[in-house]
Amino acid sequence: MINKHYGCDSKNISGVDNLVRTKLLSNTIQRSAFRPAGCGATYEATKDPKTFHDVVGKESAGQRPREDMDFCYYWIKAPEGSKIEVKIVGLSQGLAVDGCPYWGVEIKTHADQRLTGYRFCAPEDVGVTLVSTSNIVPIITYNRFYATEVKIQYRIVSGSNPKPQPQEKCVDSPKCALLTKTRKFCSSTVFTESIKRSLCPKACGYCH
């Protein structure tokens, strides 16, 4: 399904297009060669929230990092013109390392999905909500240490801006202090409004 999305299936490629699109495929999804058999799926989003549960890794490999990553590839799809809200509702604990080198979930809600998506691997990231810029959201889970779990909730939303999420308490994430100190988080154009609301609602002035 990834090949078809990027126009890389053999029936539709010839001549110069073949070379150009093959390079694009190699640069953006080269890790798909490591995809475990039967891992990944395509889900159809609706206005009602749905949840999928992913487990990736090898418990039998024990408590030591493996040389190779295991990957699972998911697509969340909605009708043309729709936007998709993706919310992290569950993440394994105990392997939260900066950069998420051992495991994590990568969510591509930005416009150029050839670029690396937003990566999460810490329990503090539960509750983070992203809104897509298109009607397709690729999600990649990966692991090279024991086995880990991810739970993702998704639904169709309307409007061009991320929808504010109701919060029982307007409290900044433990990561917020570092983000605002070292990366000018609240004024940065790299992070979407939905990420700012989820991680630093108080510091970024979203509390009411």
Cα separation, 201 vs 199, in Å, equals 6
User: Do residues 127 and 114 lie in contact, with contact meaning Cβ atoms separated by under 8 Å?
Assistant: no
Single out the residue of 202, 17, 192 nearest to residue 118, CA to CA. 192
Check residues 23 and 88 and name the one with the higher pLDDT. Answer: 88
Give me the mean pLDDT over the 77-86 stretch.
96
* Range from 14-18, 31-35, 54-58, 168-172 that averages highest in pLDDT: 54-58
**Per residue in 163-181, pLDDT tens?**
444 444 688 887 788 787 7
Distances (CA, A) of 60 to 63, 64, 104: 9, 11, 19
Topology of 39-161 in CATH?
Answer: Jelly Rolls (2.60.120)
What global pTM score does this model have? Answer: 0.61
User: Do residues 19 and 107 lie in contact, with contact meaning Cβ atoms separated by under 8 Å?
Assistant: no
Strands 40-44 and 103-107: unpaired
Position 86 scores a pLDDT of 97
Please determine, for residue 77, whether its predicted confidence score (pLDDT) is greater than 80. yes
